A and B are shown apart, each in its own frame.
Chain A
Amino acid sequence: DTGVSQNPRHKITKRGQNVTFRCDPISEHNRLYWYRQTLGQGPEFLTYFQNEAQLEKSRLLSDRFSAERPKGSFSTLEIQRTEQGDSAMYLCASSLEAGMGGYGYTFGSGTRLTVV
């Protein structure tokens, strides 16, 4: 297992277009998280899954954002009708349960989205 993989690494899109990002977690990890990070801020929680169930979605997330984790494996994050304010680094992480057991979360390298 090579860790958490995110694709693409970079995405430039025109305002109003839809984009989809993919995250492949560590296979033994049952929890998968999406975070967004903008310049000078820490990662901001978006949503998380336990297996295939989406357990929580941030109230900050508009209806333009949707995430799926079919069969509890990889996950996709889709943003519809992108806006310039969506420009950010989108981070995916996975963990065993709530990040206990001394291992913390394992993060991917992120997808940097630029909306022009």
Chain B
Amino acid sequence: ILNVEQSPQSLHVQEGDSTNFTCSFPSSNFYALHWYRWETAKSPEALFVMTLNGDEKKKGRISATLNTKEGYSYLYIKGSQPEDSATYLCAFIQGAQKLVFGQGTRLTINP
């Protein structure tokens, strides 16, 4: 059974501040790690697909890093804006099968 753990479960951040959260996953037989953003009443949207140890990916103010040897990934948001409010999901693929999701980090940006 795969366990993908995300922390914190929820987070309130002041507009303009930067923030980060963590995803931990089993380090054996690694295939890929995905980050998704899920806004209320919308579909989960893929942010990053990461496959290599040491990967760093960036999309605008959002970036992510990956450490497959120790089994963790960080997601960073720089200069938070109200539109960043969403649930951020981390998901892990082991052995080229299916995504196993963490419980998500619910981010609220306070204006």
Supposing A42-B102, A98-B32 touch, asked if A106 and B46 sit within 8 A by C-beta, the answer is: yes
**A99 and B99 within 8 A (CB):** yes
Q: Which of B12-20, B72-80, B89-97 contacts A (4 or more CB under 8 A)?
A: B89-97
Give the residues in chain B near A44, CB-CB below 8 Å.
101
Q: Are A48 and B98 in contact (CB under 8 A)?
A: yes
Looking at the complex, which one of B6, B45, B93, B102 makes contact with A99 (CB distance below 8 Å)?
B93
Taken residue by residue from 39 to 71, chain A's Cβ proximity to chain B (1 for < 8 Å, 0 otherwise) reads as: 011111100100000011000000000000000
Instruction: Give residues in B with beta carbon < 8 Å to A.
Output: 4, 6, 9, 31-32, 34, 36, 42-46, 48-49, 51, 89, 91, 93, 96-104
Which parts of A1-39 form the interface with B (CB within 8 Å)?
A: 3-4, 33, 35
CB pair B103–A40 under 8 Å, yes or no, is yes
Add 12 more A-B contacts to A98-B96, A99-B99, A104-B46 (CB < 8 A): A33-B99, A35-B101, A42-B101, A45-B100, A98-B32, A98-B93, A103-B46, A103-B49, A104-B49, A105-B99, A106-B43, A109-B43
Q: How far is the CB of B90 from chain A (nearest CB, A)?
A: 8
Q: Contacts A4-B43, A109-B42 known; A45 to B34 CB distance under 8 Å?
A: no
CB atoms of A56 and B97 under 8 A apart: yes
